[in-house]
Amino acid sequence: MSLSFQLVLTAPASLETPLLALVLPADATLTDALAPLDAPLHGALARTLARRDFRGGRDETVLLVGGDAGVQRLLLVGRGSTPLTRTTARRAAAIAARQAAKLGMGTMHLWLPDADAAAIEGLVVGAAAGSWSYPDLQTPPPEKDRRARLTQVGVIGADLPGLQGALNAGVAIAEGQAIAKRLGQMPGNYCTPQTFVDLGQEIAQRHGMTLTVLGRAEMAAAQMGSFLCVAQGTSQEPRLVALEHRGGPADQQPIVLIGKGLCFDTGGISIKPAPEMEWMKFDMMGAAGVMGAMEAIGRLQLPVNVVGIIGSTTNMPSGEAVKPGDVVRASNGKTIEIINTDAEGRLVLADLLVYAKQFNPAVAIDAATLTGAIVIGLGHHAVGVFGPDRAVVDEVLAAGSAAGEPGWPLPMWEEYREQIKSDVADIKNTGGRAAGSITAALFLQEFVDGYPWVHLDVAGTAYSQSDLGWIPKGPTGTPVGTFVEFVRARAGR
Ligand code: BES
Ligand code: MN
Ligand code: ZN
């Protein structure tokens, strides 16, 4: 992330800044705290509020142009009438930073009057999200048309304990999300399974984590026939990457985070239709979420043990590819009849869930862009949350809502299991169109042995095909926040 943040204790009216973004609630009036900003503006702020040109609605903005010194531009940003939370602060800051980036501000200041620690953290995460971009593959415009990139954000705070810590936590989460989003936005010919290995190496080195990498040969030795059948059609080396953060006591059972990392999903022999297939470069957002969360957890130095495991490959058709009707054997010995080679994510996750067992998880949470059906069921606003244990599901739901990545639970009743019974193998990899997300979760459960487990279907939420206003279309950062908040809550931080 090329953006740096400072906690600023200067009175806003005394700032020297090209842009001050002032976040206000609905129907704000000119308070004594705001009044000093208005003198150099010759009353423009008071008039704007009094005329109700700016009403403070969510995402509303008005730009007031100041002089050549002091606060040169004042951007009013509405946060609506809902209570102030980390999530509402995040959204307002994202709107502000997006606007600042469009204006070509290299520096900006953010002021949310009376921000507490949670709000400060949200402002940082939001400013990073709103100004995030992936310019690597585009030729920059000629010098005269170029706008400066936003590189510095000053967050107005108060001399209160905990605000600097909150700012640092925001930066940690923002860095994690930036890593995940970058991986997501990278095309399939740039983000390959090896990219996860290289990144894993960097994260391990930066935070003193242990890294384990398996390739085709090691996975074959571990009898991961389920994962490997997905990789049959690609010449790229499939990769299983495990990162161990040992922040807790040596004998503490770890939280295990697991991610689906399909660098591209063509569907394989059961090939997907061409329209919109390019979006399947995002089929690695579960794995990207794990990597991003591990970066954030490393930066936060959370005093718990956490293991991140990702499985990465590309689902391609070829003369060698797995085909419908084939039967493969997973590393727990279970046989799987392949009905549809496009239901490949669950095949990768199956062997990862078996692999996780050796870490003796306190709990395992997997995240995957697993089913189109979850998009039909929940759309783009809720993560599908599945698990046999309601208490752990609730814990994950709480983490998701704290992170601004809300989830919604779906059932895993026995009745649905009928749909994935096979005539020739122990289980089949699809259960028909009905309840497609639930049968996918039930498939995964066959590979979970003796540890608490929650599955997150992020197919509708990990990336957006439309501009969301506060962030552009593309990767959203989900599920980094959910993972981090879950681990933080377990760590008591
Ligand atoms: N990666 C897809 C799921 C997906 C679909 C993610 C749309 C994001 C947007 C997954 O591998 C897949 O293809 N699932 C199939 C399963 C089916 C064949 C049972 C699906 O959902 O169509
Ligand atoms: Mn697929
Ligand atoms: Zn897929």
Each residue of 434-450: pLDDT tens digit? Answer: 999 999 999 999 999 99
Instruction: Point out the ligand nearest to the CA of residue 370.
Output: 1
Which atom number of ligand 1 is nearest to the Cα of residue 431? 19
Name 68's Cβ contacts closer than 8 Å, sequence gap at least 6. Answer: none
- Report the pLDDT averaged over residues 302-327: 98
Counting residues of the chain whose pLDDT is more than 70, the rounded percentage is: 100
**CA 73 to each of CA 63, 65, 356: distance values in angstroms, whole numbers, following the listed order:** 7, 5, 53
Distances (CA, A) of 194 to 18, 223, 261, 452: 42, 21, 11, 30
Cβ–ligand 1 contact at 373 (below 6 Å): yes
Q: Locate tokens 């059932």: which residue?
A: 411
Is 254's pLDDT higher than 90? yes
pLDDT value of residue 266: 98
**Prior bond of 275 cis (ω within 30°):** no
- Report the share of the chain in percent with pLDDT over 90: 99
Task: Map tokens 């600023």 to a residue.
Answer: 8
Angstrom distance (rounded) from CA 15 to CA 158:
14
DSSP state of 346: H
Task: For residues 226-237, give the mean pLDDT.
Answer: 98
Nearest CA, atom 7, ligand 1:
372
- C-alpha 75/C-alpha 110 separation (Å) is 9
- Residue 370 CA: nearest ligand 1 atom is 3
Centre of ligand 3 from the C-alpha of residue 460, in Å: 12
Q: What is the distance, to the nearest Å, from the Cα of residue 432 to the centroid of all Cα atoms in its chain? A: 29
Integer angstrom CA distances of residue 218 from 83, 156, 215, 330, 353 = 52, 52, 5, 14, 16
**Which atom of ligand 1 has the smallest separation from the CA of 344?**
11
Distance CA 234, CA 345 (A): 15
Distance CA 453, CA 486 (A): 13
The pLDDT score that the predictor gives to residue 329 is 99
Rounded distance from Cα 317 to ligand 3 centre (Å): 13
- Structural domain boundaries in the chain: 4-136+143-159, 172-490
CA of 201 relative to ligand 1 center, distance in Å: 30
Query: Residue 340: CB within 6 Å of ligand 1?
Result: yes
CA-371 nearest atom, ligand 1: 21
Pairing relationship of beta strands 73-78 and 61-65 according to DSSP bridges: antiparallel
pLDDT in the model for residue 2: 86
CA dihedral for 240, 361, 442, 278, sign (positive or negative): negative
pLDDT at 1: 79
* 83, 132 contact by CB (below 8 A): no
Length of the chain: 493
- Helix, strand and coil in the chain, % to nearest 5: 40, 20, 40
For a mutational test of ligand 1's pocket, the pick from 227, 269, 342, i.e. the residue with the most ligand atoms closer than 8 A to its C-beta, is: 342
Which residues make Cβ contacts (< 8 Å) with residue 486, sequence separation at least 6? Answer: 255, 365, 395, 396, 399
CATH of domain 172-490: 3.40.630.10
Ligand 1 neighbour 324 (Cβ under 6 A): no
Beta strands in 30-188 (DSSP E): 61-65, 73-78, 107-111, 152-156
- Cβ proximity of 101 and 12 under 8 Å: no
pLDDT, average across residues 137-148: 95
Q: Is 212 exposed, middle or buried (0-12, 13-18, 19+ CB in 10 A)?
A: middle
Pick from 289, 290, 291: which is nearest to 201 by CA? Answer: 291
pLDDT at 101: 97
- C-alpha distances in Å from residue 450, one per residue of 162, 357, 360, 367: 39, 8, 9, 19
The structure's pTM equals: 0.98
- pLDDT tens for 259-276 read 999 999 999 999 999 999
User: Which residues are 240's β-sheet partners?
Assistant: 214, 311
- The answer to whether the CB of 167 falls within 8 A of the CB of 112 is no
Ligand 1 midpoint to CA 348 (Å): 13
CA 304/CA 257 separation, integer angstroms: 13
**Structure-token pair, residue 87:** 């999530």
> Does residue 155 have a pLDDT over 90?
yes
CATH number for the segment(s) 4-136+143-159:
3.40.220.10
- Give the pLDDT mean for 111-122: 97
Task: Report the number of secondary-structure helices (H) and strands (E) in the chain.
Answer: 14, 19
Q: What is the mean pLDDT of residues 310-323?
A: 98
Residue 213 backbone phi and psi in degrees, to 5? -130, 125
What are the residue numbers of the active site? Answer: 272, 346
- Angle subtended at Cα 455 by Cα 454 and Cα 459, rounded to the nearest 5 degrees: 155
Q: Largest alpha-carbon pair distance within the chain?
A: 80
